[in-house]
Amino acid sequence: MSPGGETAHGVGIVVVSHSRALANAAVKLAAEMLHGQQVHIAVAAGLDDTTFGTDAVQIKAAIEQVDSPAGVVVLMDLGSAVLSAELALDLLGNGTSDRVVLCPAPLVEGLVVAAVAAAGGATRDEVAAEASAALLGKTAHLAPAQRQVPLSTAGEAEATATFTVGNAHGLHARPAARLVAEVRRLDATVTIRNVTTESAAVPASSLSRVATLGALQGHVVEIAATGRQAKSAIDHLVSLAERHFDEPAEVTPPSAAAPTTDDAGAGPLAASAGIGIGPARQLRNTPPVVDQTPAGPPTAEWRVLIEAVAETRRAIERTRAAAARELRSSDAEIFDAHLMLLSDAELLTAAKDLVSNGASAGAAWLATVGEVETEWLALSDPYLRGRAADLRAVADQVLQSLAGGEDAVAVVDGVLVAHDLTPAQAAALDPARVRGVVLAAGSPTSHAFILIRSHGIAAVVSAGAHVLDIVDGTTVVVDGTSGRVVVGPTGEQLGEFEQQADALAQQRAVEARDAARPALSRDGVRIEVAANLGCVDDAVAAARAGADAAGLIRTELLFLGRNDPPSVAEQERDYRAIADVFAGRPITIRTLDVGGDKSLPYIQQVAETNPYLGRRGIRLSLARVDLLADQLTAICRVARTNPVNVMFPMVSTVDELLRARAILDGAAVPDGPPTSLRVGIMVEVPAAALRIASFLPYVDFVSIGTNDLTQYTLAAERGNPAVAALADPLDPAVLRLVAEVGRAAAKHDVAVSVCGEMASDQVAIPLLLGLSVTELSVSPHAVPAVKASVRRLDTQACAALADRALQASSAGEVRSLVAAADVVRHGSEVPRRITVA
């Protein structure tokens, strides 16, 4: 079988699939049937090796690769693959497209038959016909059994279900994009409607239509599916909804009920903490020019529009990749909704209809987007109305492409002043040059400001249209903590703000300068300050920030977003790369922690009513021993040359730990476990904390995951905003569990680490030190500040403070105790040990 690239004399075949791995496997299977005969096959699948999706430009290139006078047959898997293939034909234009047949055959069976037919010299139409008939043998064989199954009534849904929206802002861009992405991967036709508002059903594969449902938190939504995977599709989507579509919990800025872009003047509103001082630099976006007159026939206009959409998609993918590399992966997910809109069949079909009726490419796109934008702006919820800005941002990027220009990138030295910013512009800001941001409109909850906060740039939004009259070069002060904007400050005002800014900058500079030094308390106790990591880039950032070790490596990031698990060699390579960065300092590798809010496509995970109390962490690993054994094998290989700790998550019983250790022993043969390998467990379940003494003989260390320990202790899901106030790790009940672990571990000389968000909380740090915690593992950027905090503390005074905190009645009382305490002054009279009442 020829992979293409040389002149083909027979019919060429293109395989279009959402999954590159699936397409390559199908091609390999077909090759087995050809016995060395040559057929030209090209693959256009996935957006990259691990990202699902289809791209019209990629399909166009694949068709051109195998094209010949004999023609090309295109096989597609499902959903948007068909739309992408149709768009590819439009890009090709007449001539080449006339030789192409889009074949409705099943992908795997059709490819095998098509390859055999093409190898035998069949014509293009014969190859397509053979592929389309590929299921006849299977159908005939199973027909008698199928007749016994009652057929559903025409038009009747094969499966339906309802769920209640749990996301804080309803089905806004990110959860809606996740829903649509999952639907597009399924071999089923899915519709969705808002039962609460009695809306009409819309295609669940269209982000632009799902957004019009206005589904808010607490609304009841119905999904209905038909097709081969109807039942499994419903089960999967209900499970996804119960996990809030895997949307990470978001920290709401001070103005919870912030206005949308249309509500400018209700502020100014604080959007990103800090103080920024500098000359005003106005960013004036010129509206894209829309040519109302077609430059050519409808086919040419449509080709121009599709090329602009494809160019915009590539630009957004580059922005997303940069955001994932420089910020947080959850921040990068903001752009998934933008990419989804650019492949929305409803939008593209409507635009194509307008072009066919004589509209120019720009006019058709503007009219189509404008209609949907109007529907979004009519939604009752201000947060969902604000998502219209996402649609407008994407639309303007396409129009800029049509006009031959690019979206203005906000690269300035000073304080950026603008009407509003798109997420792409926000992602491009350079925090070393942009000292502050002031917007006339905007919202603290917008996607642009999620990105700005990640950059750490002080910002104020909804300051009013008058800020657009600020003359370039005028000194502006941005207080992103209080929401103040001072234009042309007096000398006295400027001096005060500069002192505040200098104090913050000096504090951060001192912390950064001393970050590489050990964190020694005032009475000489060393506390290890490690970093929580997800990848090699995180490790580099942590090492630069002065982290003493890698306290938690989230290995699930290596397992997510792919169709099959990573190999032993692949895992060894990634773990070793992180170990190399830390150059002899220990790294702690947590074994696979999925389930609950994370799932894998290659593991059968049934829908669970409460996945956080179901098969997750070590429970799932012990059910898939093959995955755990491979991971432990890779860890052992790295541990033979580097100091490595292996940590098992979500352990509830000693039996789980012993079973995991037995698998570790098996993975370490023939030489046995490396001498540098230390074994530990995550303490996230109250039961494990309460019987910690029974675990201690089998571990070298324990790490307390305070995020999960808090939610399980207080029965308050950490991602549920309705009970967020309850999920406070400073609640005395949580502190008592930490104390129980610390007290028992100290007796057995076992190290105790805390790796949850509590470890970087300046209020919690003195309590943790007083509860015998010996290591704090935090995000890389927090390392310098946490080390500085430890150096200001006296552990004897911390122990006395912790003793008092354990007797408190609420988290609020604990915070008041810490605020009033003097834990910096050395207190030699205070006993080091604490008592648990």
Please report which confidence band the pLDDT of residue 704 belongs to, taking 50, 70 and 90 as the band edges. very high
List, for residues 530-544, the tens digit of each pLDDT value: 999 888 888 998 999
Q: How far apart are CA 735 and CA 807, in angstroms?
A: 10
Q: What's the CATH number where 122 sits?
A: 3.40.50.510
CA distances from 330 to 327, 411, 761, 771 (A): 9, 24, 21, 33
Residue 826 inside a domain? The answer is: no
Q: Which residue has the tokens 């995991």?
A: 660
pLDDT at 523: 93
More reliable by pLDDT, 815 or 690: 690
Average pLDDT, the chain: 80
Flag whether pLDDT at 674 surpasses 70: yes
Q: Write phi, then psi, for 625 (nearest 5 degrees).
A: -60, -30
pLDDT at 825: 45
Q: Which residue has the tokens 């829903």?
A: 179
Q: How far apart are CA 752 and CA 774, in angstroms?
A: 5
More reliable by pLDDT, 654 or 295: 654
Quick one: tokens of 252?
Answer: 């709401």
List, for residues 192-211, the tens digit of each pLDDT value: 998 988 888 888 887 777 87
Q: Which residue has the tokens 């635009």?
A: 351
What is the rounded average pLDDT of the residues 60-71? 87
Task: Report DSSP state, residue 200.
Answer: P
CB contact at 8 A, 635 and 665: no
Residues 621 and 535 in one domain: yes
Q: How far apart are CA 388 and CA 379, in angstroms?
A: 10
Residues 231 and 133 in one domain: no
Question: What one-character-per-residue DSSP string does 662-676 give?
Answer: HHHHHHTTTT-S-TT
What is the rounded average pLDDT of the residues 763-775? 95
Q: How far apart are CA 13 and CA 40, in angstroms?
A: 6
For residue 156, list its beta bridge partners: none
Please report which confidence band the pLDDT of residue 826 belongs to, taking 50, 70 and 90 as the band edges. very low
Residue 64 inside a domain? The answer is: yes
Residues 704 and 770 in one domain: yes
- SS3 call for 443: coil
Please report which confidence band the pLDDT of residue 169 belongs to, taking 50, 70 and 90 as the band edges. confident
CB contact at 8 A, 178 and 237: no
Q: What's the CATH number where 566 sits?
A: 3.20.20.60
Instruction: Provide the CB-side half-sphere exposure for 112 (13 A, CA).
Output: 11
DSSP-derived pairing of the beta strands 519-520 and 526-533: antiparallel
Q: How far apart are CA 348 and CA 163, in angstroms?
A: 29
Q: How far apart are CA 664 and CA 680, in angstroms?
A: 12
Active site residues: 447, 755
Q: How far apart are CA 225 and CA 160, in angstroms?
A: 6
Look at the chain and report how many structural domains it folds into: 5
Q: How far apart are CA 164 and CA 367, in angstroms?
A: 34
Q: CA 120: distance to chain centroid?
A: 47
Residues 310 and 379 in one domain: yes
Residues in the chain: 837
Residue 151 inside a domain? The answer is: no
List, for residues 641-672, the tens digit of each pLDDT value: 999 999 999 999 999 999 999 999 999 887 77
Which is nearest to 763 in space by CA: 811, 832, 828, 806?
Answer: 811
Flag whether pLDDT at 777 surpasses 90: yes
pLDDT at 254: 35
What is the rounded average pLDDT of the residues 42-58? 75
Residue 133 inside a domain? The answer is: yes
Flag whether pLDDT at 8 surpasses 70: no
Q: How far apart are CA 421 and CA 412, in angstroms?
A: 14
Residues 724 and 643 in one domain: yes
Residues 66 and 195 in one domain: no
Task: Report DSSP state, residue 810.
Answer: S
CB contact at 8 A, 255 and 269: yes
Residue 507 inside a domain? The answer is: no
Where helices occur in 185-292 by DSSP H, the ranges are 207-211, 230-242
Q: What percent of the chain has pLDDT over 70?
A: 80
List, for residues 404-437, the tens digit of each pLDDT value: 765 555 457 889 888 777 777 777 788 888 889 9
Flag whether pLDDT at 155 surpasses 50: no
List, for residues 365-397, the tens digit of each pLDDT value: 888 888 887 877 777 766 566 666 677 777 887
Residues 615 and 752 in one domain: yes
pLDDT at 16: 92
pLDDT at 807: 95
DSSP-derived pairing of the beta strands 475-479 and 484-487: antiparallel
CA distances from 235 to 204, 210, 593, 724 (A): 15, 19, 22, 28
More reliable by pLDDT, 631 or 509: 631
Expressed as residue numbers, the domain containing 493 is 261-284+409-501
What is the rounded average pLDDT of the residues 46-58? 71
Residues 388 and 431 in one domain: no
Q: How far apart are CA 800 and CA 792, in angstroms?
A: 16
Burial of 573 (0-12, 13-18, 19+ CB in 10 A): middle
Q: How far apart are CA 559 and CA 594, in angstroms?
A: 9
Please report which confidence band the pLDDT of residue 552 belongs to, taking 50, 70 and 90 as the band edges. very high
More reliable by pLDDT, 266 or 285: 285
List, for residues 595-615, the tens digit of each pLDDT value: 655 567 677 666 666 767 888
Q: How far apart are CA 458 and CA 709, in angstroms?
A: 33
What is the rounded average pLDDT of the residues 675-692? 95
Instruction: Provide the CB-side half-sphere exposure for 198 (13 A, CA).
Output: 0
Residue 835 inside a domain? The answer is: no
pLDDT at 152: 38
pLDDT at 751: 94
Q: What's the CATH number where 474 sits?
A: 3.50.30.10
Q: How far apart are CA 329 and CA 332, in angstroms?
A: 5
pLDDT at 7: 40
Residues 396 and 413 in one domain: no
Which is nearest to 120 in space by CA: 11, 27, 41?
Answer: 11
Residues 388 and 429 in one domain: no
Q: What's the CATH number where 182 sits?
A: 3.30.1340.10
Residues 676 and 712 in one domain: yes
Burial of 451 (0-12, 13-18, 19+ CB in 10 A): buried
Residues 427 and 486 in one domain: yes
Residue 291 inside a domain? The answer is: no
Question: What one-character-per-residue DSSP string does 422-442 give?
Answer: -HHHHHT--TTTEEEEEESS-
Q: How far apart are CA 138 and CA 764, in angstroms?
A: 64
Task: Report DSSP state, residue 381.
Answer: -
Q: CA 325: distance to chain centroid?
A: 12
What is the rounded average pLDDT of the residues 140-148? 44
For residue 486, list its beta bridge partners: 477
Residue 230 inside a domain? The answer is: yes
